[in-house]
Amino acid sequence: NNNNNNNSPYLNATETAVLFCKYQNDFATPGGKIYETTREVMEATNMLENSKAFMRYARNVGCTIVHCPISLQPGQSPITDMPFGVVERIKAARALEFGEWGAEIVEGLTPLQGDLICPKYGMCAFGSTGLDQELQSLGIKNVIVVGFLTNGSVESTIRTAYEKCYNVFVLPDCCAACSLEEHVFSVNQNFALFATLADGVAMMKALAPMEMVPEEEKEAEEEPASAAAATTPSPSTTSK
Protein backbone atom coordinates (compact mmCIF):
# COMPACT_ATOMS: atom_id res chain seq x y z
CA ASN A 1 0.00 0.00 0.00
CA ASN A 2 1.56 3.27 -1.07
CA ASN A 3 0.16 5.14 1.92
CA ASN A 4 3.12 3.53 3.69
CA ASN A 5 5.56 4.81 1.10
CA ASN A 6 7.40 7.18 3.40
CA ASN A 7 9.01 4.88 6.01
CA SER A 8 12.22 6.68 5.08
CA PRO A 9 12.32 10.28 3.81
CA TYR A 10 14.97 9.27 1.29
CA LEU A 11 14.14 7.79 -2.10
CA ASN A 12 16.42 5.93 -4.47
CA ALA A 13 16.51 8.19 -7.53
CA THR A 14 17.25 5.27 -9.85
CA GLU A 15 13.95 3.68 -8.78
CA THR A 16 12.03 6.94 -9.25
CA ALA A 17 10.25 8.35 -12.29
CA VAL A 18 8.91 11.91 -12.56
CA LEU A 19 5.87 12.24 -14.83
CA PHE A 20 5.56 15.72 -16.35
CA CYS A 21 1.96 16.00 -17.53
CA LYS A 22 0.95 18.32 -20.38
CA TYR A 23 3.66 21.00 -20.14
CA GLN A 24 2.54 22.26 -23.55
CA ASN A 25 2.42 25.75 -25.02
CA ASP A 26 -1.36 26.03 -25.10
CA PHE A 27 -1.42 25.56 -21.31
CA ALA A 28 1.80 27.19 -20.18
CA THR A 29 3.05 29.81 -22.65
CA PRO A 30 1.67 33.33 -23.27
CA GLY A 31 -0.32 33.17 -26.48
CA GLY A 32 -1.41 29.60 -25.81
CA LYS A 33 -5.11 28.95 -26.28
CA ILE A 34 -5.71 27.88 -22.66
CA TYR A 35 -2.98 29.99 -21.06
CA GLU A 36 -5.27 32.74 -19.77
CA THR A 37 -7.34 30.18 -17.84
CA THR A 38 -4.31 28.52 -16.21
CA ARG A 39 -2.32 31.70 -15.67
CA GLU A 40 -3.82 32.60 -12.27
CA VAL A 41 -2.85 29.29 -10.67
CA MET A 42 0.52 29.15 -12.44
CA GLU A 43 1.40 32.53 -10.95
CA ALA A 44 0.01 31.64 -7.51
CA THR A 45 2.06 28.43 -7.26
CA ASN A 46 5.02 29.57 -9.41
CA MET A 47 4.60 26.13 -10.92
CA LEU A 48 6.50 26.63 -14.15
CA GLU A 49 9.74 27.81 -12.52
CA ASN A 50 9.33 25.25 -9.74
CA SER A 51 8.89 22.53 -12.35
CA LYS A 52 11.97 23.58 -14.31
CA ALA A 53 14.08 23.55 -11.15
CA PHE A 54 12.72 20.17 -10.11
CA MET A 55 13.29 18.64 -13.54
CA ARG A 56 16.91 19.78 -13.56
CA TYR A 57 17.53 18.36 -10.10
CA ALA A 58 15.69 15.09 -10.69
CA ARG A 59 17.53 14.48 -13.96
CA ASN A 60 20.89 15.25 -12.36
CA VAL A 61 20.41 12.78 -9.49
CA GLY A 62 19.35 9.97 -11.83
CA CYS A 63 15.55 9.93 -11.86
CA THR A 64 13.77 8.80 -15.01
CA ILE A 65 12.17 11.84 -16.64
CA VAL A 66 8.91 11.08 -18.45
CA HIS A 67 7.15 13.64 -20.65
CA CYS A 68 3.40 12.99 -20.90
CA PRO A 69 1.91 15.45 -23.41
CA ILE A 70 -1.65 14.98 -24.57
CA SER A 71 -2.00 14.20 -28.25
CA LEU A 72 -5.32 14.89 -29.95
CA GLN A 73 -4.21 13.13 -33.09
CA PRO A 74 -7.26 11.92 -35.06
CA GLY A 75 -7.74 8.17 -35.21
CA GLN A 76 -5.60 7.33 -32.18
CA SER A 77 -8.27 6.97 -29.51
CA PRO A 78 -12.08 7.03 -29.20
CA ILE A 79 -11.77 9.87 -26.69
CA THR A 80 -10.23 12.12 -29.37
CA ASP A 81 -12.63 11.11 -32.14
CA MET A 82 -15.78 11.21 -29.98
CA PRO A 83 -14.82 13.72 -27.31
CA PHE A 84 -16.81 14.65 -24.26
CA GLY A 85 -16.15 16.50 -21.01
CA VAL A 86 -12.75 18.11 -20.66
CA VAL A 87 -11.45 16.85 -24.01
CA GLU A 88 -14.52 18.34 -25.71
CA ARG A 89 -13.65 21.70 -24.12
CA ILE A 90 -10.06 21.43 -25.36
CA LYS A 91 -11.20 20.63 -28.88
CA ALA A 92 -13.79 23.42 -28.86
CA ALA A 93 -10.94 25.86 -28.12
CA ARG A 94 -8.96 24.30 -31.00
CA ALA A 95 -6.17 23.75 -28.48
CA LEU A 96 -3.40 21.14 -28.37
CA GLU A 97 -3.93 20.29 -32.03
CA PHE A 98 -1.56 17.61 -33.24
CA GLY A 99 1.47 19.04 -35.04
CA GLU A 100 0.78 22.64 -34.00
CA TRP A 101 2.86 24.99 -31.82
CA GLY A 102 0.30 24.82 -29.03
CA ALA A 103 0.86 21.08 -28.61
CA GLU A 104 4.66 21.40 -28.36
CA ILE A 105 6.38 21.04 -24.98
CA VAL A 106 7.23 24.40 -23.44
CA GLU A 107 10.68 25.95 -23.62
CA GLY A 108 12.84 25.00 -20.65
CA LEU A 109 11.15 21.63 -20.15
CA THR A 110 11.84 20.04 -23.52
CA PRO A 111 13.03 16.42 -23.62
CA LEU A 112 16.73 15.62 -23.50
CA GLN A 113 18.51 12.44 -24.51
CA GLY A 114 17.61 9.69 -22.06
CA ASP A 115 14.17 11.09 -21.22
CA LEU A 116 11.05 9.09 -22.06
CA ILE A 117 8.29 10.64 -24.17
CA CYS A 118 4.91 9.05 -23.59
CA PRO A 119 2.11 10.83 -25.48
CA LYS A 120 -1.33 10.11 -24.10
CA TYR A 121 -4.74 10.40 -25.70
CA GLY A 122 -6.82 11.07 -22.59
CA MET A 123 -6.29 12.30 -19.05
CA CYS A 124 -4.36 9.42 -17.45
CA ALA A 125 -0.70 8.91 -18.34
CA PHE A 126 -1.20 5.15 -17.91
CA GLY A 127 -4.61 4.63 -19.49
CA SER A 128 -3.85 4.95 -23.20
CA THR A 129 -0.12 4.19 -23.17
CA GLY A 130 2.45 1.50 -22.42
CA LEU A 131 3.86 3.54 -19.54
CA ASP A 132 3.32 0.93 -16.84
CA GLN A 133 5.26 -1.73 -18.77
CA GLU A 134 8.04 0.77 -19.51
CA LEU A 135 8.39 1.74 -15.85
CA GLN A 136 8.35 -1.89 -14.74
CA SER A 137 11.13 -2.71 -17.20
CA LEU A 138 13.24 0.05 -15.63
CA GLY A 139 12.65 -1.16 -12.07
CA ILE A 140 10.70 1.96 -11.10
CA LYS A 141 9.00 1.82 -7.70
CA ASN A 142 8.38 5.52 -6.98
CA VAL A 143 6.33 7.84 -9.18
CA ILE A 144 6.25 11.63 -8.76
CA VAL A 145 3.50 13.40 -10.72
CA VAL A 146 3.40 17.10 -11.66
CA GLY A 147 1.80 19.31 -14.29
CA PHE A 148 -1.53 20.24 -15.84
CA LEU A 149 -4.28 20.06 -14.88
CA THR A 150 -4.29 19.53 -11.13
CA ASN A 151 -7.82 18.12 -11.18
CA GLY A 152 -7.46 16.47 -14.60
CA SER A 153 -4.38 14.62 -15.81
CA VAL A 154 -2.47 14.92 -12.52
CA GLU A 155 -5.27 13.55 -10.37
CA SER A 156 -6.21 10.89 -12.92
CA THR A 157 -2.59 9.72 -13.13
CA ILE A 158 -1.98 9.52 -9.37
CA ARG A 159 -5.19 7.50 -8.94
CA THR A 160 -4.03 4.92 -11.49
CA ALA A 161 -0.45 4.86 -10.17
CA TYR A 162 -1.92 4.15 -6.72
CA GLU A 163 -4.01 1.28 -8.12
CA LYS A 164 -0.85 -0.15 -9.70
CA CYS A 165 0.90 -0.10 -6.29
CA TYR A 166 3.61 2.43 -7.07
CA ASN A 167 4.78 4.67 -4.25
CA VAL A 168 3.05 7.85 -5.43
CA PHE A 169 4.09 11.44 -4.72
CA VAL A 170 2.60 14.68 -6.01
CA LEU A 171 3.99 18.22 -5.82
CA PRO A 172 1.17 20.80 -5.68
CA ASP A 173 3.64 23.67 -6.17
CA CYS A 174 4.42 22.13 -9.57
CA CYS A 175 0.77 21.85 -10.62
CA ALA A 176 -1.90 24.17 -12.02
CA ALA A 177 -5.61 24.02 -12.86
CA CYS A 178 -8.01 26.37 -14.64
CA SER A 179 -8.95 28.05 -11.37
CA LEU A 180 -7.58 28.32 -7.85
CA GLU A 181 -10.80 26.81 -6.51
CA GLU A 182 -10.34 23.66 -8.61
CA HIS A 183 -6.64 23.42 -7.76
CA VAL A 184 -7.16 23.81 -4.02
CA PHE A 185 -10.08 21.37 -3.92
CA SER A 186 -8.11 18.58 -5.57
CA VAL A 187 -5.04 19.19 -3.42
CA ASN A 188 -6.95 19.40 -0.14
CA GLN A 189 -9.68 16.83 -0.68
CA ASN A 190 -8.39 14.20 -3.09
CA PHE A 191 -4.61 14.04 -3.42
CA ALA A 192 -3.88 12.63 0.03
CA LEU A 193 -6.14 9.65 -0.68
CA PHE A 194 -3.75 8.43 -3.38
CA ALA A 195 -0.35 10.05 -2.88
CA THR A 196 2.10 11.63 -0.49
CA LEU A 197 2.09 15.42 -0.89
CA ALA A 198 5.34 17.38 -0.82
CA ASP A 199 6.78 20.58 -2.20
CA GLY A 200 9.61 20.56 -4.70
CA VAL A 201 12.31 21.48 -2.18
CA ALA A 202 11.30 18.68 0.22
CA MET A 203 11.28 16.18 -2.63
CA MET A 204 14.73 17.31 -3.75
CA LYS A 205 15.96 16.55 -0.25
CA ALA A 206 14.28 13.14 -0.36
CA LEU A 207 16.10 12.35 -3.61
CA ALA A 208 19.50 13.61 -2.47
CA PRO A 209 22.28 11.04 -2.90
CA MET A 210 23.14 9.49 0.47
CA GLU A 211 26.62 10.99 0.45
CA MET A 212 24.93 14.40 0.64
CA VAL A 213 22.82 13.45 3.67
CA PRO A 214 24.14 14.49 7.12
CA GLU A 215 25.56 11.51 9.07
CA GLU A 216 23.14 11.88 11.98
CA GLU A 217 20.17 11.66 9.60
CA LYS A 218 21.59 8.55 7.90
CA GLU A 219 22.01 6.81 11.27
CA ALA A 220 18.51 7.78 12.41
CA GLU A 221 17.00 6.23 9.26
CA GLU A 222 19.10 3.08 8.98
CA GLU A 223 17.19 0.87 11.44
CA PRO A 224 13.59 1.72 10.39
CA ALA A 225 14.51 1.46 6.71
CA SER A 226 15.99 -2.03 7.08
CA ALA A 227 13.08 -3.15 9.27
CA ALA A 228 10.63 -1.97 6.62
CA ALA A 229 12.59 -3.79 3.93
CA ALA A 230 12.44 -7.01 5.92
CA THR A 231 8.68 -6.88 6.52
CA THR A 232 7.23 -5.12 3.47
CA PRO A 233 7.00 -7.07 0.18
CA SER A 234 7.82 -5.23 -3.03
CA PRO A 235 4.76 -4.08 -5.01
CA SER A 236 3.93 -6.70 -7.63
CA THR A 237 3.88 -4.14 -10.41
CA THR A 238 7.58 -3.37 -9.95
CA SER A 239 8.94 -6.82 -9.16
CA LYS A 240 11.17 -8.46 -11.68
pTM metric for this prediction = 0.81
Instruction: Give strand pairing partners of 142.
Output: 16, 167
Q: Is the pLDDT of residue 97 over 60?
A: yes
Task: Quote the pLDDT of residue 76.
Answer: 61
Task: Quote the pLDDT of residue 237.
Answer: 33
Q: Is the pLDDT of residue 18 over 90?
A: yes
> Of 165 and 219, which is predicted with more confidence?
165
Task: Quote the pLDDT of residue 74.
Answer: 64
> Of 208 and 226, which is predicted with more confidence?
208
Which residues make Cβ contacts (< 8 Å) with residue 107, sequence separation at least 6?
A: 29
> Of 68 and 7, which is predicted with more confidence?
68
Q: Is the pLDDT of residue 158 over 60?
A: yes
Q: Is the pLDDT of residue 230 over 50?
A: no
**Averaged pLDDT of the chain:** 84
> What mean pLDDT is predicted for residues 180-184?
97
Task: Quote the pLDDT of residue 239.
Answer: 35
